[in-house]
Amino acid sequence: MEFFTVSCLRRGRVSIDGRYQGENKNGETLQVFQCSAGRHDISLECQIGQKCREMTQRVMITGTNAIVPIAIRFVCELREEA
């Protein structure tokens, strides 16, 4: 098994290959997710104002462990959109 975190300044919903995995944070602590080795589509959906925004990255996840997961970073807007 491989391990990854999804970091962003906002809290959001994480999916891997279209399957919901949970929230990216538990309080201020990043959640660690598991997957099989290989190329995956990692998505983060966060609410900005009244709109939800989903962002996706295709990443290769290999050579990780639970202590040193790969960090997948997303850039989220902090300002509220109308």
Name the domain count of the chain. Answer: 1
Cα–Cα–Cα angle for 3, 57, 2, rounded to 5 degrees: 15
Tokens of 79: 């300002």
Does 66 map to a domain? no
pLDDT of residue 53: 82
Question: Would you say residue 69 lies in a domain?
Answer: no
Domain assignment present for residue 52? The answer is yes
Range of the domain at 45: 2-61
* H-run or E-run covering 26: strand 25-26
pLDDT of residue 76: 73
> Is 11 within a domain?
yes
| pLDDT tens, position by position, 5-51 | 999 888 899 999 999 999 999 998 999 999 999 999 999 998 766 66
Residues constituting the chain: 82
The answer to whether residue 56 is domain-embedded is: yes
Confirm whether 75 is domain-assigned. Answer: no
The pTM of this model reads: 0.86
The answer to whether residue 74 sits within a structural domain is: no
